[in-house]
């Protein structure tokens, strides 16, 4: 229904479709016989959606008329991204409730600019400068630069660039998690988080190793398959006809498909590993009011299986299975999320929060209607 209405209204119905979908998922996610709820309306989301569409149209029109200005506009828009994320977090949290108790986000704007702009820009700029600088001696070898020295500078520069890049990603992930989770409240309750950059760096390094290992195995497999397809002989004088014959070989076609999907599976597994390990670490080190703890049992292999089968389902049904794919992900994540409250009665705690909420009322406050889908 959402898809059909979005098509009929040329996309205008999208904010209302988003609200309907979120309400459906939230209302069907329960803990201790209590449910989540999403309180935003399509009208509230529509204004943010309309602003986004108008900005994109303006960038296209201005870019086609004044190319120089068209280059500057994305930079200007980039400067607003931390502000958009900040307002989106405030909006989404205030529109989300569990057991009739609202969440809220109390983070300030200044940390958002440090986390979502300063850290990535400085980190990637430093990595890019190191990588570029390490290449310069290699390009001057013919002009008298010592080859061994040039190679040493190149190797050290690339390793340093990779190290800075990985450290920046780890630092960014840590700061973003502390900002998004540590500045979130449940009613009058506070979420507390205690995490370290080193853990995220280790996760990212293992993710890179998984990708490198997967690509290495795929390169070996592709070489073996190509050699098998060319087993009838390879003549340099007839190289074009030999390759054409290999292309028509069933083994070559099957091998190409295996390598193609293997390439996708490698990155999917690396993503599943990174997501599952980060989620486990964040849950283990987050508490609510120093009394309620959390645990995530989302595993790399289990999440990878869900992602891979979802991709195949959506692919072979030409997108029709997308709703089933979304439900499978939501159910898997919910079934592998745990709340521990051994030292208190969770129902008494939630009832107390409900009373506090009723005393405060449901005034939303001064919240700008912006939502860019920032997930926690």
Asked, for residue 194, whether it belongs to a domain, the answer is no
Asked, for residue 147, whether it belongs to a domain, the answer is no
Q: What is the pLDDT of residue 187?
A: 87
How many residues are there in the chain?
376
Q: pTM, whole model, 2 decimals?
A: 0.81
Asked, for residue 229, whether it belongs to a domain, the answer is no
- The two most distant CA atoms of the chain are separated, in Å, by 87
| 2-13 average pLDDT score | 89
pLDDT digits (tens, 9 = 90+) for 277-300: 999 999 999 999 888 999 999 999
Asked, for residue 184, whether it belongs to a domain, the answer is no
Per the structure, the complete domain to which residue 46 belongs is given by 1-106+336-376
Asked, for residue 316, whether it belongs to a domain, the answer is no
pLDDT at 143 over 80: no
How would you label 295-320 residue by residue, b for 16+ Cβ within 10 Å and e otherwise?
Answer: ebebbbeebbebbbebeebbeeeeee
Other CB atoms closer than 10 Å to residue 99's CB: what's the count? 21
Domain count, the chain: 1
The answer to whether the CB of 174 falls within 8 A of the CB of 119 is no
Cα dihedral 365, 185, 180, 72 in deg (nearest 10): 10
The answer to whether the CB of 167 falls within 8 A of the CB of 196 is no
pLDDT digits (tens, 9 = 90+) for 192-210: 999 999 999 999 999 989 9
Q: What is the pLDDT of residue 369?
A: 45
Q: What is the pLDDT of residue 279?
A: 95
Asked, for residue 11, whether it belongs to a domain, the answer is yes
Asked, for residue 237, whether it belongs to a domain, the answer is no
Other CB atoms closer than 10 Å to residue 143's CB: what's the count? 6
Which of helix, strand or coil describes residue 170?
helix
Q: Which two tokens stand for residue 97?
A: 């409730």
Asked, for residue 41, whether it belongs to a domain, the answer is yes
| 233-255 average pLDDT score | 54
What is the DSSP code string of 57-98?
HHHHHHHHH-HHHHHHHHHHHHHHHHHHHHHHHHHHHHTEEE
């Amino acid at each position: 229904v959402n898809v059909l209405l979005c098509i009929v209204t040329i996309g205008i119905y999208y904010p209302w479709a988003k609200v309907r979908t979120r309400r459906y998922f939230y209302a069907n996610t329960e803990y201790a016989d209590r449910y989540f709820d999403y309180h935003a309306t399509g009208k509230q989301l529509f204004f943010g959606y309309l602003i986004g569409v108008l900005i994109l149209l303006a960038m296209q029109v201005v870019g086609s008329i004044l190319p120089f200005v068209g280059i500057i506009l994305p930079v200007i828009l980039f400067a607003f991204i931390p502000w958009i994320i900040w307002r989106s977090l405030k909006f989404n949290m205030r529109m989300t409730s569990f057991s009739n108790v609202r969440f809220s986000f109390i983070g300030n704007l200044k940390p958002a600019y440090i986390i979502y702009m300063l850290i990535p820009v400085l980190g990637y700029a430093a990595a890019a400068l190191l990588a570029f600088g390490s290449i310069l001696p290699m390009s001057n070898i013919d002009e008298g630069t010592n080859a061994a020295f040039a190679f040493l500078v190149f190797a050290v520069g690339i390793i340093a660039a990779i190290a800075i890049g990985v450290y920046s990603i780890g630092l960014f992930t840590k700061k973003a998690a502390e900002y998004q989770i540590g500045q979130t409240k449940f009613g009058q309750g506070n979420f507390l988080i205690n995490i370290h950059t080193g853990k995220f760096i280790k996760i990212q390094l293992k993710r890179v190793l998984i990708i490198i290992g997967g690509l290495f195995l795929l390169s070996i497999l592709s070489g073996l398959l190509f050699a098998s397809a060319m087993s009838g002989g390879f003549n340099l004088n007839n190289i074009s006809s030999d390759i054409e014959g290999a292309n028509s070989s069933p083994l070559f076609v099957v091998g190409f498909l295996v390598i193609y999907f293997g390439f996708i599976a490698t990155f999917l597994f690396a993503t599943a590993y990174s997501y599952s390990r980060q989620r486990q670490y964040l849950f283990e080190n987050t508490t609510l009011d120093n009394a309620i703890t959390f645990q995530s049992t989302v595993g790399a292999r289990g999440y990878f299986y869900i992602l891979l089968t979802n991709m195949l389902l959506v692919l072979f049904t030409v997108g029709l299975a997308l709703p089933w794919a979304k439900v499978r992900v939501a159910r898997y994540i919910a079934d592998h999320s745990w709340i521990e409250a051994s030292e208190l009665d969770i129902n008494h705690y939630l009832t107390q929060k409900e009373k506090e909420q009723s005393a405060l009322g449901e005034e939303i406050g001064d919240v700008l209607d912006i939502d860019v889908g920032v997930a926690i």
